[in-house]
Amino acid sequence: DVKVTQSSRYLVKRTGEKVFLECVQDMDHENMFWYRQDPGLGLRLIYFSYDVKMKEKGDIPEGYSVSREKKERFSLILESASTNQTSMYLCATSTQSGEPLHFGNGTRLTVT
Amino acid sequence: RKEVEQDPGPFNVPEGATVAFNCTYSNSASQSFFWYRQDCRKEPKLLMSVYSSGNEDGRFTAQLNRASQYISLLIRDSKLSDSATYLCVVNIWNAGNMLTFGGGTRLMVKP
């Protein structure tokens, strides 16, 4: 069974702080993704990566950056957190494009 | 028009009822289709893939209609534990074969 682990379940940060969300997978999947989910807006793709050191912008990359230094780890960085980044953040992996996604259990981030 | 559309519901049904959800997609070249289930405050989990010939898994049946560009999910003999949000997911070829999520349909099964 694929295991996708997100470092924190709940996180509270102040406006302007730099925030790191970590995601680790144990199944050697090529693709990793970061989504955010908000009521009424559904799941929206922030960034994704097809390989180590490779990243692509999703639909809403503004205010975020990512890092993939190792295949199993994909980090989401909020350079300067803002209140509109309060959300549920979900990491996902897949073996290749078009294949099902496997999600981590999410990080609920509150920015005050 | 959204690329993947679902009726948000909620669908309120009694235990034992049969309920069906539809999901329409706009990209005629889409090849991969999935239904996910998401419980409140939890992550989405794959319920089933949707194949051209249709497929069944216990009380759940998924169908694909390419001509009309929709997929469906049928749940028979609803259980209280089926209460969740059901997400339709479709790949979008002209966007790097990315998977795109519908907004979800909420199902509430009542005793």
Among candidates B43, B99, B103 on the partner chain, residue whose Cβ is nearest the Cβ of A90: B43
What pLDDT was estimated at residue B1?
Answer: 65
Across the interface, whether the CB atoms of B42 and A106 are under 8 A apart is answered yes
Judging contacts by C-beta atoms under 8 Å, the chain B residues touching residue A39 are none
Instruction: Pick the residue from chain A with its C-alpha nearest to B86.
Output: A42
Say yes or no: A39 contacts chain B, CB-CB below 8 A: no
- Amino acid in position B57: D
pLDDT digits (tens, 9 = 90+) for A77-111: 999 999 999 999 999 999 877 788 999 999 999 99
Interface of B with A (CB under 8 A): 31-32, 34, 41-46, 49, 87, 89, 91, 96-99, 101-104
User: Distance between CA B36 and CA A100 in Å, rounded?
Assistant: 10
Q: Is B95 strand, coil or helix?
A: helix
What does pLDDT average to over chain A? 94
The least confident of A24-38, B42-56, B65-79, B86-100 is B86-100
Phi-psi region of A98 (alpha: psi -120 to 50; beta: other; left: phi over 0): left
Distance to chain B for A104, nearest Cα, Å: 7
A33 neighbors A43 (Cβ within 8 angstroms): no
pLDDT band, very low/low/confident/very high, at B51 (cuts 50, 70, 90): confident
Q: How far apart are CA A38 and CA A17, in angstroms?
A: 21
Helices (H), chain B: none
Question: How far away is chain B from the Cα of A81, in angstroms, using its nearest Cα?
Answer: 22
Each residue of B13-33: pLDDT tens digit?
999 999 999 999 998 888 889
